[in-house]
Chain A
């Protein structure tokens, strides 16, 4: 299904008139284009954000780093089930009968004690399926977008650790 046999490039020689029309066309169209470009050079404000100095705020419901408020978590496992890439690791033990009763801020009783709530954010695909199924709304996407680490294991966030609590107080202050 060759459209053109190999090596057969047949172009009829240009006439004198065509030759100069081509040049004229090229000049005119380039002139028109340059006019638009020059307008952009002087007439349009630059839109580049000078990143480390200026930081853009993400919109309110943008989906970035996950945060779990473990005090409100009832270990229902719905987020781990909904996750398409299986990056949420939860384990919990039954709460002692004698232990004082604890309730989440929305009023549902906590029957299981979390022993682990870890999310591998390196594996997370930020789809937002886990946050929508959360019954107590403790798992949320925050608007933080700077979370690079030196080692891959640093992306595993243990939400029971005290360092994350510190992060939480900072989040709430904001």
Chain B
């Protein structure tokens, strides 16, 4: 099924450079092989995303609906991987179409062609990707942040994101968290001798039933 799609994409959009990626098994140091799991996907060149989507929608494979557009940040590669989940109801099939764009440094953002003219469903999905990953979709009619406020700083789902400290004079990321009474959060390594309790101001739980 996937091979058919790859051939179709390469035939209709020659510059797309579509490649089929199948889940690969891994072999660890001891020589134990674990088979790959999950689904296969198709990667295409980032500039040709719109042309590929257009072809997949209108061609014989009838991917009439766009399920989702999502991103995954890979800071080690310096790239963000965008996934387009397409589905066809007449052919009862599902396809993960992927492309990679440069990550940028948070100021200079990388660009992708918008697919809103192909499916209107892409409108909100692309706005979400812009909000969360900072990928600009050119040709989008109304590219604003969707879940965060318009003047929020940073792109939350990037792996190196740090929450800003104040937002419009409100403290949004206090250094002293509400739930920490002057001690380390969670105290997951407090087996060490000498740790002391310092929970003050607790009051007695109210009596439950007479």
- Contact present between A and B (CB < 8 A): yes
Footprint of B on A, CB under 8 Å?
A: 1, 55, 65, 75, 77, 80-81, 86-87, 89-94, 112, 115-116, 118, 120, 122-123, 144, 146-154, 156-158, 160-161, 163-164, 167, 170, 174
Q: Are A157 and B187 in contact (CB under 8 A)?
A: no
The answer for the CA separation of A170 and B193 in the assembled complex, in Å, is 33
Q: Is B34 an interface residue (CB 8 A)?
A: no
Q: Are A158 and B206 in contact (CB under 8 A)?
A: no
Residues of B within 8 A of A (CB-CB), count: 27
Most buried by A among B120, B183, B200, B208: B208
**Interface SS of chain A: helix, strand, loop or mixed?**
mixed
Nearest opposing residue in chain B for A152, CB measure: B178
Q: Are A144 and B186 in contact (CB under 8 A)?
A: no
**Interface SS of chain B: helix, strand, loop or mixed?**
loop
The answer for the CA separation of A94 and B194 in the assembled complex, in Å, is 9
Q: Which of A93, A157, A163 contacts B195 (CB 8 A)?
A: A93
Q: How many A-B residue pairs have CB under 8 A?
A: 87
A164: chain B residues at CB < 8 Å are 205
Q: A92-B195, A167-B208 are in contact. List 10 more A-B contacts (CB 8 A).
A: A80-B187, A93-B193, A93-B194, A144-B209, A146-B206, A147-B205, A149-B203, A154-B205, A161-B204, A163-B205
Given A89-B186, A91-B197, are A77 and B202 neighbors across the interface (CB < 8 Å)? no
Instruction: Report the minimal beta-carbon distance from A73 to chain B, rounded to whole angstroms.
Output: 14
Q: Which of B201, B204, B206 contacts A148 (CB 8 A)?
A: B206
Q: Are B208 and A144 in contact (CB under 8 A)?
A: yes
Instruction: Report the minimal beta-carbon distance from B53 to chain A, rounded to whole angstroms.
Output: 19
Q: Which parts of B149-168 form the interface with A (CB within 8 Å)?
A: none
Given A147-B205, A149-B206, A153-B202, are A87 and B195 neighbors across the interface (CB < 8 Å)? no
Most buried by A among B120, B178, B188, B205: B205
Given A146-B206, A146-B208, are A116 and B195 neighbors across the interface (CB < 8 Å)? yes
Instruction: Report the minimal beta-carbon distance from A106 to chain B, rounded to whole angstroms.
Output: 21
The answer for the CA separation of A152 and B203 in the assembled complex, in Å, is 10
Instruction: Report the minimal beta-carbon distance from A63 to chain B, rounded to whole angstroms.
Output: 16
Q: Which parts of B182-196 form the interface with A (CB within 8 Å)?
A: 183, 185-188, 190-191, 193-196
Instruction: Report the minimal beta-carbon distance from B168 to chain A, rounded to whole angstroms.
Output: 24
A1: chain B residues at CB < 8 Å are 120
Q: Are A123 and B179 in contact (CB under 8 A)?
A: yes
The answer for the CA separation of A148 and B208 in the assembled complex, in Å, is 10
Q: Are A91 and B187 in contact (CB under 8 A)?
A: yes
The answer for the CA separation of A152 and B200 in the assembled complex, in Å, is 12
Q: Are B187 and A89 in contact (CB under 8 A)?
A: yes
Q: Are B195 and A91 in contact (CB under 8 A)?
A: yes
Q: Are A153 and B201 in contact (CB under 8 A)?
A: yes
Q: Is B106 an interface residue (CB 8 A)?
A: no
B181: chain A residues at CB < 8 Å are 156
Q: Are B199 and A156 in contact (CB under 8 A)?
A: yes
B120: chain A residues at CB < 8 Å are 1
Instruction: Report the minimal beta-carbon distance from A173 to chain B, rounded to whole angstroms.
Output: 11
The answer for the CA separation of A120 and B185 in the assembled complex, in Å, is 12
Instruction: Report the minimal beta-carbon distance from A57 to chain B, rounded to whole angstroms.
Output: 10
Q: Are B197 and A151 in contact (CB under 8 A)?
A: no
